[in-house]
Homo-oligomer: A and B are copies of this chain.
Amino acid sequence: MDAEDRLRPEFVDRVLDAVADGDDETARELVEPLHPADVADLIELAARDEREGLVRALAGIVDADVVAEMNEHVREALLDALEPQQVADLAGQLDTDDAVAIIEDLEEDEQRAVLRAMEPDDRAAIEEALTYPEESAGRLMQRDLIAVPEHWNVGQVIDYLRSGKDLAEDFWEVFVVDPGHHPVGTCKLSSILRAPRKMPVSDIMFEEQTLIPVDMDQEDVALRFQKYALVSAAVTDGTGRLVGMITVDDIVHIIQEEASEDALLLSGVGEGDINEPVTESYRARVRWLVANLLTALVTAFVIANFEGLIERFAILVALGPMVAGVGGNAGTQTLAVTVRAIATNQLTGSNRWRAVGREVRVALLNGLTIACLIGAGVAIVFGLIFHDPLALPLGAVIAAAMLTNIIVAGCAGVMVPLTLERAGADPAVASSVFVTMVTDSVGYFAVLGLAAAFLHIA
The residues of A with any CB-CB pair to B shorter than 8 Å are 3-9, 12-13, 35, 37, 41, 44-45, 47, 71, 158, 161-162, 164, 167, 169-172, 188-190, 192-196, 208, 220, 223-231, 248-249, 251-253, 255-256, 259-260, 262-264, 266-269, 272-275, 278-279, 281-282, 285-286, 288-290, 292-293, 296-297, 299-301, 303-304, 307, 310-311, 314-315, 317-322, 324-326, 329-330, 332-333, 335-341, 343-351, 354-355, 358, 361-362, 365-366, 369-370, 373-374, 406, 436, 440, 444
5 A-B contacts, Cβ less than 8 Å apart? A282-B362, A289-B366, A293-B370, A300-B321, A300-B322
Asked if B256 and A9 make an inter-chain contact with CB atoms under 8 angstroms apart, the answer reads no
Asked if A365 and B278 make an inter-chain contact with CB atoms under 8 angstroms apart, the answer reads yes
Asked if A264 and B348 make an inter-chain contact with CB atoms under 8 angstroms apart, the answer reads no
Which residue of B is nearest A339, CB measured?
Answer: B263
**Which 10 pairs of residues, A with B, have the shortest CB-CB distance?**
A263-B263, A259-B259, A267-B336, A229-B249, A9-B349, A189-B189, A296-B322, A272-B337, A300-B318, A303-B318
Min CB–CB distance A193 → chain B (angstroms): 5
Asked if A320 and B321 make an inter-chain contact with CB atoms under 8 angstroms apart, the answer reads yes
Collect the chain B residues with CB atoms within 8 Å of residue A71's CB.
346
Cβ-neighbour of A272 out of B194, B262, B304, B340 (below 8 A): B340
Extra contacts, 17 of them, besides A5-B227, A288-B329 (Cβ < 8 A), are: A5-B224, A6-B345, A158-B193, A164-B194, A170-B188, A248-B249, A248-B252, A255-B255, A267-B337, A269-B336, A278-B358, A278-B362, A289-B370, A290-B373, A292-B326, A307-B315, A321-B321
With a 10 A CB-CB cut-off, give which of A225, A227, A299, A317 has the most chain B CB atoms.
A317
Question: CA separation between A349 and B246, bound complex, in Å?
Answer: 36
Collect the chain B residues with CB atoms within 8 Å of residue A4's CB.
220, 223, 345
Cβ-neighbour of A348 out of B45, B193, B335 (below 8 A): B45
Asked if A285 and B330 make an inter-chain contact with CB atoms under 8 angstroms apart, the answer reads yes
Question: CA separation between A365 and B290, bound complex, in Å?
Answer: 13
Min CB–CB distance A379 → chain B (angstroms): 15
Asked if B193 and A172 make an inter-chain contact with CB atoms under 8 angstroms apart, the answer reads no
Collect the chain B residues with CB atoms within 8 Å of residue A269's CB.
333, 336-337
Min CB–CB distance A9 → chain B (angstroms): 4
Asked if A358 and B274 make an inter-chain contact with CB atoms under 8 angstroms apart, the answer reads yes
Which residue of B is nearest A414, CB measured?
Answer: B274
Collect the chain B residues with CB atoms within 8 Å of residue A190's CB.
161, 169-172, 189
Min CB–CB distance A282 → chain B (angstroms): 4
Asked if A264 and B337 make an inter-chain contact with CB atoms under 8 angstroms apart, the answer reads yes
Given A189-B172, A252-B255, A314-B311, does the pair A325, B350 have CB atoms closer than 8 Å? no
Asked if B264 and A444 make an inter-chain contact with CB atoms under 8 angstroms apart, the answer reads no
Which residue of B is nearest A358, CB measured?
Answer: B278
Collect the chain B residues with CB atoms within 8 Å of residue A293's CB.
322, 326, 370, 373-374
Collect the chain B residues with CB atoms within 8 Å of residue A188's CB.
170
Collect the chain B residues with CB atoms within 8 Å of residue A252's CB.
225-226, 229, 248, 251-252, 255
Collect the chain B residues with CB atoms within 8 Å of residue A208's CB.
35
Which residue of B is nearest A283, CB measured?
Answer: B365
Asked if A44 and B194 make an inter-chain contact with CB atoms under 8 angstroms apart, the answer reads no
Collect the chain B residues with CB atoms within 8 Å of residue A223's CB.
4-5
Asked if B255 and A285 make an inter-chain contact with CB atoms under 8 angstroms apart, the answer reads no
Asked if B337 and A273 make an inter-chain contact with CB atoms under 8 angstroms apart, the answer reads yes
Asked if B326 and A289 make an inter-chain contact with CB atoms under 8 angstroms apart, the answer reads yes
Collect the chain B residues with CB atoms within 8 Å of residue A339's CB.
263
Asked if B260 and A7 make an inter-chain contact with CB atoms under 8 angstroms apart, the answer reads no
Question: CA separation between A311 and B162, bound complex, in Å?
Answer: 88
Cβ-neighbour of A255 out of B256, B273, B346 (below 8 A): B256
